[in-house]
Amino acid sequence: MSALALEAHEPPEYRGVARDGVRLMVAHRATGEIEHARFLDLPDFLDPGDLLVINLSGTLPAAVGAEHRAVRVHFSTRVPGLSDSWRVVELRTADGSKPLRTRAGERLILKGGAELVLAAPYLGGQRLMVARLNIPIEPYLNEHGEPIRYGHARGGLPLEAYQNVYATRPGSAEMPSAGRPFTAELIARLVAKGIQLAPLTLHCGVSSPERHEAPFPEEFEVPEATAELVNTARRVIAVGTTVVRALETVADPDGTVKSASGWTNVVVTPERPLRAIDAVITGWHEPEASHLKLLEAAAGQELLARSYAAALERGYLWHEFGDSQLVLP
């Protein structure tokens, strides 16, 4: 079965499945074994003393239409070194399906009358622009924006559909979706088994579904308490590639993690192996996605290839509303 036929178009709750009822593939790097379960079975695959590291970043309603033009603006990260009036943005067609070429100096009147001025290409690229909005950005988005979605996702879904249950720090343009299957009840069961949770924050920018670019700089914070827990944990399980990126940013070559905040340019690949992470929870990505390089570093090329073959054969669902994978050492 093709990945296209397995795209999840809506949250599992809309399909009659609980958040934690999505499927979970468990891949063991040491043995090469692959198991099939449900996400609610996660405690069965973890042990007391294990540490789950979660990303508290909440999803912003970061997509806004323009007045009098068939344009949709995706607001991404803040711009390092500039005031909060500035954002990295991407312009797309009105349905969000395709990126649009833009030029510096262009002005757009957005929904509600706000004015957006495109100042310059971001980091020398062509897809993203540095732009300035003439009113405070987050209040404006909260009033006029909606969640960013791409062609595979059903329109009209509320912002809550794009939030993790533990998200408390709004700032991501797109949901850190590996954590979506967690529920309060599942977290309680994990804690009762002696599995700890530790928070960090990494605000996700906009992805590149057509070009599959590596992630651009993203803002992060790893608290001191989280660093201490990571350094003493039996095993460290990153909930999502955003957590991997944040922890690997602050990891020394020997795997010791320190607290820090700022912007990260780290891109994890097999050539830049994992230092602080023992296991990863993730979703399913397109064959060209940059996330797969990170997952190859965690699982190894052969096991990752077999996992994806098994996912296709068994009909695992893809994207942010789809099924999950746990890669264990």
Q: What is the pLDDT of residues 276-304, one digit of tens each?
A: 999 999 999 776 566 677 788 888 889 99
For residues 12 and 289, which has the higher predicted lDDT (pLDDT)? 12
Pairing verdict, β 71-78 and 86-93 = antiparallel
CA 72 to chain centre: 21
Supply the pLDDT for residue 36. Answer: 98
Domain range annotation of the chain: 4-59+157-328, 63-144
Decide if pLDDT at 249 tops 70: yes
DSSP secondary structure of 102-134: --TT-EEEBGGG-EEEEEEEGGG-SSEEEEEES
Where is 262: in which H helix or E strand?
strand 260-264
List phi, psi (to 5°) of 91. Answer: -100, 135
Supply the pLDDT for residue 288. Answer: 56
Decide if pLDDT at 3 tops 70: no
Name which of 71, 67, 29 is nearest 328 in CA terms. Answer: 29
Per-residue pLDDT, averaged over 104-119, amounts to 96
Q: What is the pLDDT of residues 195-220, one digit of tens each?
A: 999 999 999 999 876 666 778 999 99
Decide if pLDDT at 84 tops 70: yes
Residue 30 amino acid letter: A
Share of the chain above pLDDT 90, in %: 79
Decide if pLDDT at 48 tops 60: yes
Decide if pLDDT at 1 tops 70: no
CATH fold of 4-59+157-328 reads: QueA-like (3.40.1780)
Per-residue pLDDT, averaged over 72-88, amounts to 95
Where is 53: in which H helix or E strand?
strand 50-55
Residue 133 amino acid letter: L
Supply the pLDDT for residue 289. Answer: 60
Q: What is the pLDDT of residues 215-248, one digit of tens each?
A: 899 999 999 999 999 999 999 999 999 999 999 9
Share of the chain above pLDDT 70, in %: 96
Question: From its phi and psi, is residue 231 left (phi > 0), alpha (psi between -120 and 50) or beta?
Answer: alpha
Decide if pLDDT at 40 tops 80: yes
Name which of 279, 277, 308, 278 is nearest 292 in CA terms. Answer: 308
For residues 149 and 166, which has the higher predicted lDDT (pLDDT)? 166
* Tokens representing residue 73 in the block: 């603006």
Torsion of the alpha carbons at 317, 280, 271 and 310, rounded to the nearest 10: -40
Average pLDDT, the chain: 93
Pairing verdict, β 115-121 and 107-109 = antiparallel
Q: What is the pLDDT of residues 19-36, one digit of tens each?
A: 999 999 999 999 999 999
Could you give the CA distance from residue 57 to residue 308 in angstroms, rounded to a whole number? 28
Could you give the CA distance from residue 32 to residue 22 in angstroms, rounded to a whole number? 23
Supply the pLDDT for residue 293. Answer: 77
Sheet holding 107-109, edge to edge: 63-65, 71-78, 86-93, 128-133, 115-121, 107-109
